[in-house]
Amino acid sequence: MRSLACLFCALALALPPLGGRAAEVVLVASSFPKEILTAYKKAFDEQSAEYHVEFVNFPGTNAISYVRDRAPGSRPDVFWGSSPDTFSALKRLRLLQPLDGFGNAEIPPVIGKLSIDDPEHFHRGQALSGYGIMWNKRYLDVRGIPVPAAWSDLARPEYFGHIVMSSASRSSTTHLIVESILQGAGWDAGWALILQIAGNCATITERSFDVPNSITRGRFGLGPVVDFLALSGKYSGFPVDFAYAWPSVITPVGIGLINGARNPEGGKAFIAFTLSEAGQRLLLRPEISRLPVLPKVYETADRPADYPDLFDITRSYLPAYAPEVSESRYQMVGALFDQSVTFRHSELVAITKTIHEVAKRLQSQPDADAAALLDKARALVYRAPIAENDDLLARKPLKTRERIAAIAAREAEWARQTDRNLAAARSWLAQANDRLARRP
Amino acid sequence: MNQRHRQTAGKAWIPLAFLAAYLLAFFVLPVGKMLIAGFANEEHQLASGSIAIFLDNSLYIESLLNSVMVALGASVLAALAAVPIAVTLWRFRLQPPLILELFGFLPLFVPPFMLSLSLQSLLGRGGALGMLLQTVGDLDPALWGLPGMMVIEAIHYFPLVLMTLVLNTSAFAQQAHEAARLGNSWSRLITRVFLPLGFPGLAFGMAITFLKTLDDLATPLSLGITNLIAPQAFFRVSTYGSQDPLSSLMAVAMIVISIVVWIVSAGFVRHGAIDWNPASGGRTPAIPPAHRRIGMLCLAGISAFYITCYSGMILDSLAGIWSHTPLPESYVLSHYASALESETGSFINTLVYCGLAAILDVVIGLAMARAIEHSPPRWNKALTWGAAAFLSVPGVALAIAYLQFFQGTQLPLLGQPLDATWFLLPMAFSVRGLPFAMRACTFALQSLPAPYVEAASLSGASRLSIGLRVILPMMAFGLTVAFLICFGIAAVDLSSAMLLVPSETDAPVSYSIYLHMQTSTGRGTGSALAILTIGFVALAMSAFVLAARRGLNPASSFRRIMFPGTPTR
């Protein structure tokens, strides 16, 4: 049977291949948007006589299996991406080659508190990614909504129904923001904040890019994004703006040579190009708008007047972010997010609305008992789905049927727990409302 | 003669063996393995472990019920809208123009998520009607939840339901008028003639709406709806990988629901005597102009409604800067330029995948049609309906079955895993197109008069020249129709594509549209790509009508092919 399948494949492959690869091709795997890849392809191909570059593009969350599932010698040459967790995993699985005696000496290894390169040189920093909040100026102005400054602002009632974010299991950007809140605020307080923000969201999008897209368009007011997506909209003329939210997370965009590459020399040539002055300067184009790591590029006239400054940004960097911690529980944080936010979003929104309403009534007519009921309801609705020391969060060989079945059993338990919690919280909120209604 | 017969009989096993191998490799074994995966434990013993977990999770039960509810709601809504309009057209004896009739089948060739995204642009807070009607309330379809999805699917499949109704009843509109002139009341005619006549068509249209809605993945995801069974299976496969036993169970549940719905509707379709050829004889009194005007107004109203629905996407494809204003601030054509420039790859992918799938479909369809034709009459019926039941295999379920079955299969020369290549896409597309291919091929076979072949062979022509000079030209029309229908159906099959596409460079154009609709810089390129695609399909349909006008009646053959399970003669 399998051989029959192989026969069909052989037939299919006898047709002209879609991505014809000659010997001098450099194959780069990346999750970046087309604008960036097209610009680099054009510039690199123009300056290199020996090589030309091709890209394989896929969601950042599948990067590791994409590389690992291919036999050495048939893997892509370079991996280029903004998720530090992915680089940490690639390094642990020995899927990267060291880049010793390599790179642009003018790029400092440490900027502010942030180390740009991997200490063992398995990957190099090529740019910086900062995470923050993007908003549509017209949308907020018309509705009189203030511009937020910190992640915790997004939990406030005035943002209810105006935020848009993506799912942590589908978007590596959202995953990084969620993880940095968990690490920055602590597991329990972090989940409380994430659930409150999610309760304020109008919708949870399936793809990360739909967040900046719907803000640019003015469908929704604001949301958490990676800086370059917001800045490229801003410098393309849309009425949007962006701020690095406190506590801000800045991570280096990495580039590394894959162990088992088809064309390692070509891969090195491409990496060297991205680190050169010409490669760094490309980042300042309006449709790209990323932060270069080569300081002298910021002095050039290419940069728009209010372009973020390298040293300002790295000063606010939150040093606690640990990619190893994030990587060890990567899949489970995504699954927890889906179970408690994505799949329960309409219930979460409904109860968040009631919580805001009760809180508002309490402001005009204070009542200690109603306030206690509200606090109880809040604590229950915005509780971490599992404890930080839960067995599920420790790294284990994943994807065996047994383990998946074990997780699925736990998920059923969470679903029941969530239903119970929501029911209890609803009744407390109703009691609080009753108390307030009975008062003169 | 006798010897020749034995020769053909001797060689007949070759296409049959090919057919059996294909069905085994790309349908029976993958789906069978998925069934086992859903119901067995690690040691391949029957176990209720995963079923217990599935039933234990309130989210999954809720998703299953929601899916059935949304699919049922969409088909009932579409029927509720279609019946009065079909009655009006019937009452005034108005036959829609041929081209509008063919456009009734357009929902099968355009993915419904395009409508969802267009309505988001139109009714969302950011522009067009949504801003003007802000005082009425939030009209963004992403905020309506399940009812929103129901309405969108109903709008999308309404033309199909209407057209199946019109086609089933139009033949007797003339007689109804005669009856009305003789003193029968119209309300009596509608309940006694129109409804019984229209019911098989209505049941078919509603069944297709139900099955496609149940299987739809891109529309709920574009609306942010995840508590349906297809998105749940999709999320589980993308989080836990294809070996997840619960996603197999979800796929099995989808197949079971689909089969039940298909059997129920097939009962109705089968019992209706369908005669699509208008009854001849008798005078045809002219339709009074007032009646014609009412009917035309009806059709114009529907057309205007659809243009309005898609205007969000049309505006998006032309908008430069459009942010929180009723209309775009500037208009550009650059989205079309960039769609054509950057997406030639996905157009080529679509041509390759869907072309391969359609060729396979035609070959397999011919083999199946021949097998059915040469089988005893009792088997004939069972085989016809059995093949039509392929319609009820949801794309999501088939994709999950493929991922499980072919996982770990390495390609011999490339050293790449099979599921990392695009190879599984055309295979899945071909299985999904099979019911239509089989009918089209049966049709083509019937257009081949046996005496011609007999005469040619008696005159001493070689088998090759009979094939080239007689058989091929006579069947060319039918086979082209088969190819085009299968191509079109494969081109919009997003439910299996979203799970099987290995990377964005290997994506077919429908998936590229889905991705482009969600880029950071707005929906311009995706909308332009979508409009180019819809334009291409509409153009192909019109060209088909024009080219086939001579001699054959294209609409009637097209109708017959599109209603699987009904007699083709």
Of residues A74, A206, A233, nearest to B521 (C-beta): A233
Higher per-residue confidence, B43 vs B144: B144
Question: Quick check: bond before A148 cis, omega within 30?
Answer: no
- A109 contacts: CB under 8 Å, gap ≥ 6: A115, A116, A117
Q: In chain A, which residues have pLDDT < 50?
A: 1-23
Query: What does pTM read for this prediction?
Result: 0.85
Spell out which residues of chain B touch residue A334, defining contact as CB-CB under 8 Å.
239
The answer to whether position B404 is within a domain reads no
The answer to whether position B466 is within a domain reads no
How many structural domains compose chain B?
1
Shortest distance, CA A384 to any CA of chain B (angstroms): 19
- When pLDDT is averaged across residues B55-83 and rounded to a whole number, the result is 94
Task: Count Cβ neighbours within 10 Å for each residue of A169-195 and write b for 16 or more, e otherwise.
Answer: bbbbbbbbbbbbbbbbbebeebbbbbb
Domain that residue B149 falls in: 45-277+287-329
Q: Give me the pLDDT at residue B5, please.
A: 47
Of residues B414, B426, B504, nearest to A58 (C-beta): B504
A18-129+251-315 CATH pick, 1.10.10.60, 3.40.50.970, 3.50.50.60, 3.40.190.10? 3.40.190.10
Shortest distance, CA B545 to any CA of chain A (angstroms): 32
pLDDT band at B510 (very low <50, low <70, confident <90, very high): confident
- When pLDDT is averaged across residues B199-226 and rounded to a whole number, the result is 90
Of B315-319, B327-331, B468-472, where does mean pLDDT reach its minimum? B468-472
**Residue A202 to residue B142, Cβ atoms within 8 A:** yes
Which of A55, A139, A290, A404 would best serve as a mutation to test chain B binding (most B beta carbons within 10 A)?
A: A404
Q: Give me the pLDDT at residue B115, please.
A: 93
Residue B417 pLDDT > 90: no
Predicted confidence (pLDDT) per residue in B329-386, tens digit: 989 998 898 888 877 888 888 889 999 999 999 888 888 887 877 777 777 777 777 7
- When pLDDT is averaged across residues B482-506 and rounded to a whole number, the result is 82
pLDDT band at B569 (very low <50, low <70, confident <90, very high): very low
Residue B35 pLDDT > 90: no
**With a CB-CB cutoff of 8 Å, which residues 325-344 of chain B face chain A?**
325, 342
Could you tell me the end-to-end alpha-carbon distance of chain B, in angstroms, rounded to an integer?
28
CATH number at residue B178: 1.10.3720.10
Distances (CA, A) of B462 to A90, A196, B9, B454, B470: 64, 79, 18, 12, 11
Q: Give me the pLDDT at residue B477, please.
A: 75
Q: Which residue of A has its CA nearest to B139?
A: A219
Q: Give me the pLDDT at residue A97, please.
A: 92
Q: Give me the pLDDT at residue A301, please.
A: 66
**Residue B57 to residue A33, Cβ atoms within 8 A:** no
pLDDT band at B279 (very low <50, low <70, confident <90, very high): very low
Q: Give me the pLDDT at residue A10, please.
A: 41
Domain ranges of chain A: 18-129+251-315, 344-440
Q: Give me the pLDDT at residue A316, please.
A: 62
- A267's tokens: 């891969």
Q: Give me the pLDDT at residue A200, please.
A: 97
Give the number of other Cβ atoms within 10 Å of residue B399's Cβ. 28
**Residue A238 to residue B323, Cβ atoms within 8 A:** yes
d(CA A28, CA A41): 10
Q: Give me the pLDDT at residue B2, please.
A: 47
d(CA A129, CA A124): 14
Higher per-residue confidence, B283 vs A89: A89
d(CA B90, CA B78): 18
Evaluate whether A304 touches A232 at the Cβ level (below 8 Å): no
Residue B204's nearest CA partner among B151, B256, B274, B266 is B266
- When pLDDT is averaged across residues B272-279 and rounded to a whole number, the result is 47
Q: Give me the pLDDT at residue A19, please.
A: 40
- When pLDDT is averaged across residues B232-242 and rounded to a whole number, the result is 85
Higher per-residue confidence, B402 vs A394: B402
pLDDT band at B304 (very low <50, low <70, confident <90, very high): very high
d(CA A269, CA A97): 14
Higher per-residue confidence, B265 vs A10: B265
pLDDT band at B414 (very low <50, low <70, confident <90, very high): low
